[in-house]
Amino acid sequence: MRDFIIDTDTASDDAVAILMALAAPDVRVLGMTTVAGNVGLEQATRNALYTAEIAGASTPVYKGAGAPLTRTHEDAHWFHGRDGLGDNNYPAPRRAAEAEGAVEALIRLSRAHPGATLVTLGPLTNIALTLALDPGFAARIGRCVVMGGAPCCEGNVTPAAEYNIWVDPEAARRVFRSGLPIEMVGWHVSRGESVLDDAEIAQVLALGTEKARFAIGCNSRARQAYFTQTGQAGLSLADPTAMAVALDRNIGTSWSRHFVEVECASEITRGMTIVDRLNVSGDANNAAAWAETRKAGTKTDICWTFDAKAYKDLLMVALT
Smallest gap, in angstroms, from Cβ of residue 171 to Ca ion?
Answer: 14
Q: Which of 40, 68, 84, 122 binds Ca ion (CB under 5 A)?
A: 122
Q: How far is the CB of 164 from Ca ion (least distance, A)?
A: 7
In terms of Cα–Cα distance, which of 182, 305, 298, 196 is closest to 250? 305
Q: Is the dihedral of CA 253, 147, 53, 21 positive or negative?
A: positive
Task: Pick the piece of the chain touching Ca ion (CB under 5 A) from 14-22, 40-48, 149-157, 255-263.
Answer: 14-22
Q: Using the rule CB under 5 A, is 186 a contact of Ca ion? A: no
- Regarding 237 and contact with Ca ion (CB under 5 A), the answer is no
Q: Does 162 bind Ca ion (CB under 5 A)?
A: no
* CB nearer to Ca ion: pick between 121 and 160: 121
Q: How far apart are the C-alpha atoms of 57 and 74, rounded to whole Å?
A: 30
Among 43-51, 104-112, 116-124, 133-141, the segment contacting Ca ion (CB under 5 A): 116-124
Compute the least distance from the CB of residue 138 to Ca ion, in Å: 22
- Closest to 145 in 3D by CA, of 118, 176, 175, 171: 118
SS3 201: helix
Is there binding between residue 7 and Ca ion (CB under 5 A)?
no
Considering only CA atoms, give the Rg of the chain.
Answer: 18
Report the nearest approach of Ca ion to the CB of residue 124 (Å): 11
Q: What number of residues does the chain have?
A: 320
- Interface size with Ca ion, residues (CB under 5 A): 5
- For residue 20, state whether it binds Ca ion (rule: CB under 5 A): no
Q: How would you classify the pairing of strands 300-306 and 252-258?
A: antiparallel
User: CA 240 to CA 249: how far, in whole Å?
Assistant: 13
Question: Under the criterion CB under 5 A, does residue 149 sit at the interface with Ca ion?
Answer: no
By CB under 5 A, residue 189 contacts Ca ion: no
Positions that interact with Ca ion (CB under 5 A): 9, 14, 121-122, 239
